Structure 1
Amino acid sequence: MYTPYFKISPKITEYLTQIGIIYGYLKSTPLPIKYQKEYQNRILSEIIHSSTAIEGNNLSEKQVHGVLNGVKIKGYERDVKEVENYYKAIKYISGLPINSNFKISEEIILKINGIILNGIRDEEAGKYRTKELYVGTYIPPKPKDISTLTTEFIDWLNNPIPHDLSPILYAGIAHYKLVAIHPFIDGNGRTTRILTKLMLKKYGYDFIKYFSLESYYNRQRKFYYEALDSADSHRVEGQPDLSIWLEYFTLTLFVQAQRAQTQIETLIKTKPRQIKFHLNERQKKIIIYLKEHSSITTSEYMKISSLSPKGAYNDLQKLNKAGIIEKKGILKSSFYTLKNYKL
């Protein structure tokens, strides 16, 4: 049975206390309806952009937002696929019947990796690696040991949490351990960050609604890797010491939760502004089209306006933000409908 070694420092205790207070505030302070969808879509784009960027994805956050809204981006096929796959992996865990009794199985972990690598490394997607890897100076376990190590890890995951251990620390330990096993040929970091979300949600911390852990890791990429590496460079009786990593993990949650609190407080205090919006001739065509057809896609608007994918997307987004049209669906299935508006 896997038995992690770590010490709970005063900083970890303080971070956990503050996270609990702020999360209580976030859950009890719903955003005004007019801000909810935009805020959650922005957080989703931030999560997906950051987690894929950590692994070398070249798309900007704005481009990621565009991909999630059906915009075609040429010349970045693999990057676009990585973004689409990460969104699908988040959607997959969001659809699981998660509660405190939910069991995280080997099948779920393999499925997450399979989704992440789908269409990128199909032969290896959702399968344990059969080759040795070198991750910087770190040498992960040999392929022959992966199945046993992963089974022990999953058994530990599903054991009752000790009464004196925060579920947040449990998720942090899981994050470190799966990265250390490095069971897949590719996508280990992304699979781990999805699994961490799943674990936190299992124990009542559905942070994905409010903020992105990944954006902090991405901004502090060097420190993220150093914190993970610290467990192996600081050993106690030959066993990795997770103390520094867990301090970093809880700091990340605290900083991002605090940031979310500030953003939400700002939105709540923001007074609605009267927006004067003047349609150009292209945008008038959208309104006319919607009066006749009830809905329009980005591709359909490109045909009637002769605009590029980016130009068509920008026009539709302006009308969407102005409250003239409403976006429904996501990715390739997205479309727009007309709200109350008269030419």
Structure 2
Amino acid sequence: MTALSTVDIGRGSEDLYRDQLPGLLNQLADRARVASITASSAIEGIVVDDSARADRILAGRVTNLRTRSEQELAGYRDAQDYLFQGSWRPLNPGLLLHLHKLLFAHTAAPGGQFKTEDNVVVDRAATGELTVRFRPVRASDTPHFVAELIDRYAAEATARRHHPVLLVGLFVLDLLVVHPFEDGNGRVTRALTNALLMDAGYSVSRYVSLEQQIAASADGYYQALLDSTHGWHDGEADPWPWLTYFVNILATAYRMFAERAASGRADGSKQDRVLDYVLHHAPRIFRVADIRTALPGISDPTIRVVLDRLRREGAIASEGLGRAAAWRRLPS
């Protein structure tokens, strides 16, 4: 698998970059932390519109959290920082409960407990109609399934019979299918994904945000999960659509990491991020709202500057006017 080879080659270069470019890697880590927290939250619709205030929340300089979005942004900050400090081991059900507690610690919602009622995973159409996408395991069975999943993962990781990245991907898929919490499943799982990859020796998520890559390809993310959940309860699910997506996300992160290390600078100009999304990740026809969702924390004026530049260069064309306007990528 070419993408998996890219991941392994990238992993082999991490020590070299850490030895030769410690200052650059510190800058990358700071940027990736902010991008991961804001992107993973935005995937769930949690957005703080004031980007300057969001930055202060992520830096821990805001004590009066005004809205539920601010509270949950601070909660994801705490959960991710706890994992990145490296003292979370061992992996056990208590760790999942602790992450969930941190996620909701700033809200009035209860955190730190498994679901007490059966839940479903749904899709919401533009009309507001809900369609059941998947039925997770029953609430009464959740502690058993979580414990069994962790035991199986630990046994396979110790046995080293399979590629560690594929094992992490399978753990993530099964945890999302179990859906152990009433709310916060995606965020807990994405935060834990970074920790498990680093534990297996793949530390790119410390320097390049995987969550931002997922937000930029949200349709592919949800479709891969959907394709790999059919028949899960009967033991007939095909994990490869999800694993293919997962490995490709990681390979893309390693390529970005290598490019930034080679250039000797922390990519992260907000205009560069908008440019990359529009040219390489956005749908062929997209709206400003798509960019906002994929790149939380970037202001509309910055987005408009990049769109105007690309329009002048003949890379995109506008369709319509005002807030309803769409943009179309033109053939190069």
Q: Which residue of 1 aligns with 2:14?
A: 26
5+ residue gaps, structure 2, are 123-131, 268-332
Which whole-Å deviations, capped at 9, do the CAs of 1:236-284 have from their partners, x for residues lacking one?
Answer: 97421101100000000001111121122222599xxxxxxxxxxxxxx
* Percent of residue pairs identical: 24
- Note closer, same or farther for the CA distance 1:216–1:19 as it changes in structure 2 (3 Å cut): same
Q: Deviations over 1:118-146 (max 9, x none)?
A: 132543x1101111222112121221111
Alignment size in residue pairs: 254
* Letter matched to residue 17 of structure 2: T
Match in the other structure for 1:116:
103
* Selected match of 1:103 from 85, 90, 105: 90
Output aligned runs, 1:1-343, within 5 Å.
Answer: 13-30=1-18, 32=21, 34-59=23-48, 62-63=51-52, 64-70=54-60, 77-97=67-87, 103-123=90-110, 125-136=111-122, 137=132, 138-161=134-157, 162-233=159-230, 238-267=235-264
Q: Shift in Å at residue 68 of structure 1?
A: 1.9
Larger Rg: 1
Q: 2:160 is paired with a residue of what secondary structure?
A: coil
- Given the two structures, how large is their TM-score scaled by the length of structure 1? 0.67
Cα 1:247–1:33 shift into 2, 3 Å: closer
Question: TM-score with structure 2 length normalisation?
Answer: 0.69
Answer whether contact 1:73 1:80 (CA < 8 A) is retained: no
Residues 195 and 65 of structure 1: CA distance in aligned 2, closer, same or farther (over 3 Å): same
Name segments (4+ residues, structure 1) moved above 6 Å. Answer: 234-237
Counterpart Cα distance in 1 of 2:7 and 2:145: 31
Q: Comparing 207-216 with 234-243, which one deviates more in the overlay?
A: 234-243
CA distance in 1, matches of 2:116, 2:232: 28
Q: Tell me if the contact between 2:78 and 2:102 (Cα under 8 Å) persists in the aligned partners.
A: yes
Equivalent residue letter for 1:16: L
CA contact (8 A) 2:24 2:266 kept: no
CA distance in 1, matches of 2:246, 2:140: 30
Question: Which segment drifts farther, 51-60 or 165-174?
Answer: 51-60
Contact 1:228 1:245 in 2 (8 A): yes
Contact 2:224 2:242 (C-alpha < 8 Å) held by counterparts: yes
| d(CA) in 1 for partners of 2:118, 2:192 | 23
Whole-angstrom distance in 1 between the partners of 2:5 and 2:240:
17
> CA 1:61–1:223 in structure 2 vs 1: closer, same or farther (change >3 Å)?
farther
Question: CA–CA distance in 2 between the matches of 1:78 and 1:127?
Answer: 20
Q: CA deviation at 1:52?
A: 0.5
What is the Cα-based RMSD across aligned positions, in Å? 2.7
